[in-house]
Structure 1
Amino acid sequence: MRIDYYKFSNERLSIFRDLITEWDSLKSGRVWKIEPHNIRFHLGESITDLKIPCIVGSEDEKVIVNAITDILLLLKKRLDSEQDTDRQKEDGSYIPATIKTELIERTYRTDIFPSNSIEKVVAENILLTAPVVDSGIIKCWLGKDGSGRQLINKIRLVITKSINEEIELMGGERTSYVTLLALINALVRSKEVLKKIKVRKIGYEKLELAVSFSMFFLFNAVISAVGEELKQKTLSSIDINGIIKLLKSSLSPHSFISTNSSVLEYDTNPYIISKDISDIIAPIYEKIAPSSRDISDASDLIAEEIKGNPSLLCSLIGIYRQNRLRHLIAEYLFQYDAPGIEVHPLLAEIYQNRRMLHSAFSDKRFRKELYERLGDIKTRFKRDTRRTEYIDRIQTFISTSYKTKFLDWLLHRTEMNPDYIVSIAVSGFIAYKMDEHVDKFVRVMRGLIVDRRGELPEKERLYEYQRGRLYRFSSDERQILNILTSTNEGLLFIDMKDFTRKTLKVKEASMADFMKGNFYIPILEAARKYGASGGISPVCKGVKIENFLGDAVIFSGGVANLLSLAADIRRLMRLYKDKLIKRFADIFDHSQKVPETEIDAGLFISYGTEAEKITINNDYWGAVKVSIGEKINEAARGTARNHVIKTKMDMLLEKARDERKRTDIACPFKVFVDKTYSFIPFSETGDRIYDMVLHKNPETFLSLKSLSAINDIYNTGEAITETALKAYMAETKTTRSSFKKDIMVSQLDTDIQDRFFFPSEKLELWFSIDTSDKIDTLKIFSKRGTIVFKGFEEAMPTTVYEVIDDSLEFFNMLVSRHFNKWYSEIKRL
């Protein structure tokens, strides 16, 4: 039996050569990056804030935990003495074994596994890299009733389902890649059991490496098997090979290691290079790799550098000598290991113990004893010519390789010349560095996978999954992601702009008490009647509170209910404002006459995709609920007050008063949308600004360079987006009548024209009234303009309407002078 010890490194390099055509693509890690536009459902709009909510099926996660627990318990049973067990029972750290399969005696034979089976592939790789886990343990673990076998079956089903779903999406999403990341995360979480099960003869780090290598090779073998099955069954244009290579490149021995342990802590690691070899090659790699064209170019250049340095070459050959003896022993034990042969336990110790391996070269007495005991086996099995051939190889190696002329001896063995030794060392090292580098990107991507099991109760998880807002990776027949069913809702944002500033001027406790009794509690009471079981429309969502923040509050729900709540809040605000000014007259009286310090509430209603609800569980803070949604941000921005716009409107109002020679003219609106400008003055014009203002010199103004011209908002009233207005009319279409009326200001009743100043020549109005035609149910909306809010530059402009306050004179004059006529005209149509 000849073992290809370097098959793993060569396969890794082959995968990377196919995925990476040049070093730049490796450095950027773009092959392993998840972009938001390639994910069917996600939170966040950019890679920096991307989150993919998911869960792993409870049965599947349970199998992962059982597989890790059982391999630990099997190791414990094999290595710990009865005294160790008794001590652990006393200190409470003992966990009783639940494994039903009998653990056979320690052996390294691999013919106890079915030929060409996935179990044999997994077993051979574990024995080569984590020999503390022997064939007896693996046989029990991967046997018919073993949890390792169950894990193989589960992972096979999960990966197969994810690739099939990816094929159905025609490459629109790398579903299998996201699935693998979630499975790795689940396994890493499950490794917490390592802290509970102590195997006294193995240190924690060595134990973790053994478990991590075992899990890696199990996952790796399953992915390979799934790829072979799908290539035979799938008639699709999708590149199955490409999918499998991405998965295998993303999964490495580094994936499951959570401590600072290096993969190279085991001399029998998958790359078959020791830390000593790494230390020799690393400086050369760091010097050569960045300027190399690709992996092959880097390998050739590094090999040439080593071969040109006799000292490095001799060091590499010396290390290879030890690895070669280990491999000769492995080839023998994998075929002939059996209980009752005295030298076999010694060979097993040499195979997995660095100190014992070194003694085979440095300790003459030990070497002689080993040689003689191997001779005893030859005598005992002299008719087994194949066995004796393997023993001859070991004896020949230990009797010649320690000599000073070892290098001369080596040069005459074509299969082990320096070129070959350098080649395998460099290949192993580069494969190790590739995996190490890629794992950094993969770990970042794993951080995007947010497990909801610990954050949401079961009912909420089911609700999120059914709505298409939660990936579910499992071995059952349910889809990984339900078809997304977007749910829309309205958002009402109320902001009392002046309070943050005013609170600094009064005793905060006094202000807090006043706000509690006159602001918070009344608003919450007003919202109660529009709650989940209430409201004014049977098809309209009830109102829910999203957040309270100082002088701001956010409600969500149906637009009809939010509009009614907003009207109630406006009435409360009028009462609140009167009480506030009366209570803190010395502070608030003057501020009402100073721009930018008015005490008014800005209300804004938006409509769109329902906000995401995230629950963050923290040992200290408990369950913290957070609502995230772009419509929350839009509603918040809609309550802004750009005082440049307000100043402009005040100037236009003063101009109208001067022209008409009337001081009682008012503006009927409290929501303004208009342009604002930004300029960059050239450095030499800075000193001329004063001259421009003083002498009304336009030249300086013309020398300014325009930076931007954008629409912004000033809101001390109640605004609503056009989308929300349409949603309101859709919600109330069975109970209310709505119609639009565009009219020139010059066509309005003369009393209205005389009483008010209008910023534009035309009014675009919407009217909505209950089918009972009662005037007290009337709502009037006036278009105020379109705006692109900050942070929404890539979205369509938002059209904003003002909800005209029914307590204002303008509302009443429109009703008394025009509404009945306009409504009658609509009814006759």
Structure 2
Amino acid sequence: MKTVGYADERLELMGRLRKSAQGRTLADMLRLDAKALRFHLGTSLADLRVPVHVDGSVQSALHAAVRDLFFLLALRHRAALRQNEYDRLILLDGFDPRAVRQTSFNPPSSARSENVRNAFLEAPELHPALDGGLLASWLSSGRPGRVLAGTLNALLRRAQEESAGREPAEPTTWIVLLAVRSLSQQVLGTLREFPISGPAGRLMHGAVAAGLLLALRLAMREAGVRDSPSGAFCEAAAAALPWVGGLRSLWGSGFAGYGVSFVEAPARIDHHLHRIAQGGTPEEVAADVAAELVGSKDAMRKAARHVALARLRSDLLVLVRMVELSRAPPFSVEGLSLAQLYAAPGALERVLAAPAARKEMYEKARVTAKAATTDAARDAIEAAGALAKEWKEDGAGAGVSQENVVKTWATAVAALAADAALDGAVDQAQAQLIHRHGTESEGGIETQHEAGKLYLIGLDERPILMKRVRAPQMGHLFCDMKDFTKRTAFLKETVVADFLSREFYGPILTAAARHARGAAHLADKGGIYLNNLLGDAVSFSGDVVALLQLAEDIRSALGSYARRLDSEGSREAVAKATAALEEKFNERRHQLADEMKTAREAQRQGKPDPLSGEEAGPRLRSLEAELRRLEDERERDIALATGEKLEAGIFISFGAAPEVATFEDHIFGQIKVSIAEKINESARGTARNAGVRARVDAILASER
């Protein structure tokens, strides 16, 4: 029995990738390369990230296509659904009982493109529930399947146009396919909304996955992706497993792309997958699987059942296509046509499970074969009848030699393991994408895309990644209060917070408000805006002239506060309070000085301190520490009595506009951070503000 094209393609792809990997693992080979990317984030290869956004138009096209395909499958296979499930489906938006076309397993005459015809031929081979008539309903003009295929085709063509002529060539198509692949979880979420469960639900989910895979493969063929520099990578992304829901969801899904439809997990599949991921070959895995079958009767029996069922279904598909073209006479079994026997969920399995039905199938096949007018038709009918006759209760050895069972099963398991290993490697490449939602920075998706900092996957006729333009240049002012730590230590947090709000933040923000023009980040290029408000500092960006005026306003506000302190400090009450404090502290200071003198003398003589009886050295250190505390207390009390002048450092730099990152935290709420090299420069510059001012004043004086 020949495996279908999908399995052959995956095995051949694995060979091509391994040949070009040159000893690297699949995951390393498929990772995005920073050197080939027009834009990326990350400070090293290990944390390389590519920001992308899949536009709502693309997501909507996929969502609508999934719903429509599921509805068509429900209509086609209504007999497999419970009545209450079907009744609930009817009530859903988009469900049209008249939408599905007549069952067919051959390409329609309207399909003239070879790629389209191949898609119709592949459909029932990938999943028996997905016949050509149903696929034609989904892909017909104006239907959601057609919209999805057209959307994917347009995206892939645009991606190839953007990467053409670049050296090294950017894998833009690879990025697009990874972004589209990441929507598989949304697809699974959509499928979980439908009221169909059990075996029928799993089969229909598998058929939807096969349909999406077909649409993706069709779009890639039409766009010529395979011949592009990143063609092999793109083929790796066009896999069934993401849309099925992963390896564990494959069992019982009806997907037959590997040559058999796996009802349960093959023995040691995780081991085989890991072996290929670590450098093993599918041929080695196939040899291991073959050896396991030969050594286990139970494993051979299960494999024989899978292979025999696949063989019979394959023969039925050949026969159904011939009957449809009037090249072979039809027959039915228990009221089921050959098309229903092939495609209806569970129909063939039920017939094979009943001895009377198997006998009926054999007898009708024998009679019908005599009426066949060609050898090909007669052979196809007789092959189906012979398998039905030889089928056993456990399905083992039903008309299929042990050699054929071993070869077919080993190849299918090897193809599955290879596909799963590829899927895991693609997962790691996909993890390098960062999906933006517009809330990560001010200006949202449009601002990031226009700045050339975001790959936008959408239907609009514009580049996926815009050319990066030179960032707008602007001024950055940083102002901080000197001796903030010392003030806080003296006056404590509550006093300093009130003081800053009245005499530092308030005047500065009031002055800044006169220059602001109500703009969010870069929305208008005039005026200034607040970046950050720190404990002892404030940062603004914007028009450099406005910032220079603001610097002058800040100086004026702080000078006004100093003059007010001077005028208030001359009052008699303040003078008396200061004198009392000085008298109090001088008395204690003199006392400590006498005690320290005595302790030093005792230390010089090697005797204990006569006043305290303690060792002279420790006593002296204790007195020195108390003196330091006394001086700190004196400065704090005098500052409270007289008020203390503010000294601020101000520095203005000029450079690129800041990047404003915004993010939401469930505890701390919305947080905004402005990041720019020149903001850092202006912050460092306040430390040398006085020196800069002195040099500038000296230069001006000499010029005058």
Shorter-chain TM-score: which interval?
Answer: 0.7 to 0.9
Q: How far apart are the structure 2 equivalents of 1:69 and 1:389? A: 40
Determine the structure 1 residue equivalent to 2:599: none
Per mean C-alpha deviation after superposition, the further-off stretch among 155-164 and 431-440 is 431-440
CA spacing shift, 1:48–1:587, aligned 2, 3 Å = farther
Equivalent of 2:242, from 255, 259, 275?
255
CA offset digits 1:558-614 (Å, max 9, x no partner):
34433443454455567779999999x988935999xxxx99655554444333334
Equivalent of 1:371, from 355, 362, 365?
362
Query: Residue 49 of structure 1: CA displacement?
Result: 5.3
Does the CA contact (< 8 Å) of 2:54 and 2:457 recur in 1? yes
CA spacing shift, 1:310–1:154, aligned 2, 3 Å = same
Structure 2: which 5+ residue stretches go unaligned?
575-580, 582-631, 640-644
Does the CA contact (< 8 Å) of 2:21 and 2:29 recur in 1? no
Q: How many residue pairs are counted as aligned between the two chains?
A: 624
Does the CA contact (< 8 Å) of 2:251 and 2:262 recur in 1? yes
User: Could you say which structure has the higher helix fraction?
Assistant: 2
Does the CA contact (< 8 Å) of 1:281 and 1:426 recur in 2? no
Determine the structure 2 residue equivalent to 1:63: 61
Q: How far apart are the structure 2 equivalents of 1:259 and 1:30? A: 21
Does the CA contact (< 8 Å) of 2:476 and 2:652 recur in 1? yes
Q: Where in structure 2 are the equivalents of 1:71-470 lying within 5 Å?
A: 71-78=69-76, 79=78, 87=88, 94-97=92-95, 102-110=99-107, 114=111, 117-185=114-182, 188-189=185-186, 193-194=190-191, 196-199=193-196, 206-227=203-224, 240-257=227-244, 262-273=249-260, 275=262, 278-282=265-269, 285=272, 289=276, 294-295=280-281, 298-299=284-285, 301-303=287-289, 305-306=291-292, 309-311=295-297, 312-336=299-323, 342-343=332-333, 345=336, 351=342, 357-359=348-350, 362-375=353-366, 378=369, 382-383=372-373, 386-402=376-392, 410-411=400-401, 417=404, 420-445=407-432, 447-452=433-438, 461-470=445-454
CA spacing shift, 1:374–1:471, aligned 2, 3 Å = same
CA offset digits 1:650-680 (Å, max 9, x no partner):
xxxxxxxxxxxxxxxxxxxxx7xxxxxxxxx
User: Could you say which structure has the higher strand fraction?
Assistant: 1
Determine the structure 2 residue equivalent to 1:486: 470
Which of the pair has the greater relative contact order for Cα pairs under 8 Å at 6+ separation? 2
SS at match of 2:516: coil
Q: How far apart are the structure 1 equivalents of 2:28 and 2:179? A: 19
CA spacing shift, 1:60–1:318, aligned 2, 3 Å = closer
Query: Residue 53 of structure 1: CA displacement?
Result: 3.9
Q: How far apart are the structure 1 equivalents of 2:537 and 2:201? A: 52
Does the CA contact (< 8 Å) of 1:73 and 1:197 recur in 2? no
Does the CA contact (< 8 Å) of 2:179 and 2:430 recur in 1? no
CA offset digits 1:528-584 (Å, max 9, x no partner):
2332489xxxx985311123344443322234433443454455567779999999x
SS at match of 1:547: strand
Does the CA contact (< 8 Å) of 1:329 and 1:394 recur in 2? yes
Q: Where in structure 2 are the equivalents of 1:495-506 lying within 5 Å?
A: 495=480
Q: How far apart are the structure 2 equivalents of 1:363 and 1:137? A: 29
1:520 pairs with 2:505: yes
SS at match of 2:6: helix
Query: Residue 460 of structure 1: CA displacement?
Result: 5.3
Query: Residue 143 of structure 1: CA displacement?
Result: 1.4
Determine the structure 2 residue equivalent to 1:589: 635
Q: Where in structure 2 are the equivalents of 1:665-814 lying within 5 Å?
A: 716=687, 718=689, 803-804=692-693, 810=694, 814=697
SS at match of 1:469: coil
Q: How far apart are the structure 1 equivalents of 2:188 and 2:5? A: 28
CA spacing shift, 1:209–1:356, aligned 2, 3 Å = closer
Does the CA contact (< 8 Å) of 2:276 and 2:418 recur in 1? no
Determine the structure 1 residue equivalent to 2:619: none
Determine the structure 2 residue equivalent to 1:472: 456
Does the CA contact (< 8 Å) of 1:42 and 1:53 recur in 2? yes
Q: How far apart are the structure 1 equivalents of 2:431 and 2:565? A: 52
Determine the structure 2 residue equivalent to 1:746: none
Query: Residue 245 of structure 1: CA displacement?
Result: 1.4
Equivalent of 2:15, from 6, 17, 23?
17
Does the CA contact (< 8 Å) of 2:474 and 2:543 recur in 1? yes
Structure 1: which 5+ residue stretches go unaligned?
232-239, 640-670, 672-714, 719-781, 783-801, 805-809, 824-829
What amino acid does structure 2 have at the position aligned with 1:589? E
Per mean C-alpha deviation after superposition, the further-off stretch among 502-511 and 305-314 is 502-511
Query: Residue 83 of structure 1: CA displacement?
Result: 6.2
Does the CA contact (< 8 Å) of 1:23 and 1:290 recur in 2? no
Does the CA contact (< 8 Å) of 1:184 and 1:255 recur in 2? yes
SS at match of 2:241: coil
Q: How far apart are the structure 2 equivalents of 1:213 and 1:363? A: 30
The TM-score normalised by the length of structure 2 is 0.73
Does the CA contact (< 8 Å) of 2:129 and 2:344 recur in 1? no
CA offset digits 1:335-373 (Å, max 9, x no partner):
436999644746566646786555555542332233345
CA spacing shift, 1:572–1:32, aligned 2, 3 Å = farther
Task: Give the share of equivalent positions with the same residue, in percent.
Answer: 21
Q: How far apart are the structure 1 equivalents of 2:47 and 2:515? A: 34
Query: Residue 266 of structure 1: CA displacement?
Result: 1.8
What amino acid does structure 2 have at the position aligned with 1:74? L
SS at match of 1:482: coil
Does the CA contact (< 8 Å) of 2:436 and 2:445 recur in 1? no
CA spacing shift, 1:165–1:207, aligned 2, 3 Å = same
SS at match of 1:20: helix
Query: Residue 8 of structure 1: CA displacement?
Result: 1.2
CA offset digits 1:319-349 (Å, max 9, x no partner):
3223222322233334436999644746566
CA offset digits 1:153-191 (Å, max 9, x no partner):
232222112112111323342211122223334565466
Equivalent of 1:611, from 641, 644, 658?
658
CA spacing shift, 1:226–1:257, aligned 2, 3 Å = same
Does the CA contact (< 8 Å) of 2:301 and 2:395 recur in 1? no
Q: How far apart are the structure 2 equivalents of 1:580 and 1:308? A: 99
Q: How far apart are the structure 2 equivalents of 1:435 and 1:591? A: 73
Does the CA contact (< 8 Å) of 1:307 and 1:422 recur in 2? no
Q: How far apart are the structure 2 equivalents of 1:338 and 1:619? A: 63
Determine the structure 1 residue equivalent to 2:609: none
Query: Residue 216 of structure 1: CA displacement?
Result: 1.9
Query: Residue 141 of structure 1: CA displacement?
Result: 0.9
Per mean C-alpha deviation after superposition, the further-off stretch among 335-344 and 261-270 is 335-344
SS at match of 1:280: coil
